[in-house]
Amino acid sequence: MSRQLFGELIAEAIAMLIIIAFGDSVAAMYLLYDPSPYQNAYWGVCIAWGMGVTLAIYVTGSVTGTHANPAVTLALALFRGFSWKKVLPYWGAQVVGAFVGAAIVYQLYGPVIDHYNQTHQLTRDAGGAAGVFFTAPGLAVSPLHALGDQVILTAFLVFGIFAITERFNEVAPTANSGALIIGLLVATIGASMGYLEAWAINPARDFGPRLFAYVTGWGPSALPGKDNYWWIPIVGPLLGGVVGAAAFQWLIYPFLPARLRALQQPASLDQQP
């Protein structure tokens, strides 16, 4: 492994560590406390997740561009020339970072988790406080419906990321403000659609903490999870990322005026005497 690739993998792991450390911590604040400071201020949960993403981009963006999501890595490989040789290593680094991020949250909130489960007469293997770490279907949402939801939500995410980072998009944010807008995009998806199944929209975001929960006492409630749910926040976002990227590349990218001007410029130069 080259030194450069090693650094990229470290950066991807750190990006996911940051996102999960803040995101799962705000999930703990939302779930474990009564009264919760966020029960009537859900936008605060969304902003915390979004700002975690923004911070991760500012910390690691110069190294990798901050994929911090296997669905984004796959979309970039399919549509923007990212090396296929790096896809699996990036995925592994992202899951490892999410696992370590979950460990940090556990170190912070372990006593509060135990107090919550004791108070509510719950156990870890029955899923007590599992929502701190990984996602599950919400009210009236079946696993199959959740799969479709994850495709749609992640399609919105990657569609937005492609638009925000496209060099030919003349209205995209500039001066390194793209990180903030991507964070707000994550927050907006959570604010509008998060209650469906906690808006995983990122296989590593769900699987890394789920794997950590599995080895720290949640057992089958984490893997395979109720109704074998574990694979849905993996497959749904991977499919959704491809859908969102394809939608941008096929429906928006070909018609960007700056791109059309760039294509016409060589022809016009050739016509000059």
For residue 203, tell me if it sits in a domain.
yes
List phi, psi (to 5°) of 126.
-95, 0
Looking at the chain, the whole-number percentage of residues with pLDDT higher than 70 is 97
- Contact call for residues 169 and 256 (beta carbons, < 8 A): yes
User: Which residue range(s) make up the domain with 71?
Assistant: 3-258
On whether residue 273 sits in a domain, the answer given is no
Read off the pLDDT of residues 117-145 as tens digits, 9 standing for 90 and up.
999 999 999 999 999 999 999 999 999 99
Please count the structural domains in the chain.
1
- pLDDT for position 40: 87
Say if residue 37 is preceded by a cis peptide, omega within 30 of 0.
no
| Low-confidence winner among 28-42, 52-66, 92-106, 205-219 (lowest mean pLDDT) | 28-42
Per-residue pLDDT at 220 exceeds 50: yes
Whether 59 maps to a domain, the answer reads yes
Residue 266: the pLDDT is: 66
Q: What average pLDDT does the segment 258-270 reach?
A: 77
Return d(Cα 5, Cα 50) in angstroms, integer. Answer: 27
Does residue 265 belong to any structural domain of this protein? no
- Give one word for 122, left, alpha or beta, with left for phi > 0 and alpha for psi -120 to 50: beta
Would the pLDDT of 267 be above 80? no
Choose the weakest-confidence range: 32-41, 139-148, 209-218. Answer: 32-41
Cβ contacts of 137-143, under 8 Å, gap ≥ 24: 137/196, 137/197, 137/229, 138/195, 138/196, 138/197, 138/198, 139/195, 141/196, 141/197, 143/227, 143/228, 143/229, 143/232
What CATH number is associated with residue 104? 1.20.1080.10
| 156 assigned to some structural domain | yes
Per the domain annotation, does 143 fall within a domain?
yes
Q: Is residue 263 part of a domain?
A: no
Residue 33's pLDDT band (cuts 50, 70, 90): very high
Q: Is the distance from CB of 82 to CB of 8 less than 8 angstroms?
A: no
Within a domain: 268 = no
Q: Is the pLDDT of residue 269 over 80?
A: no
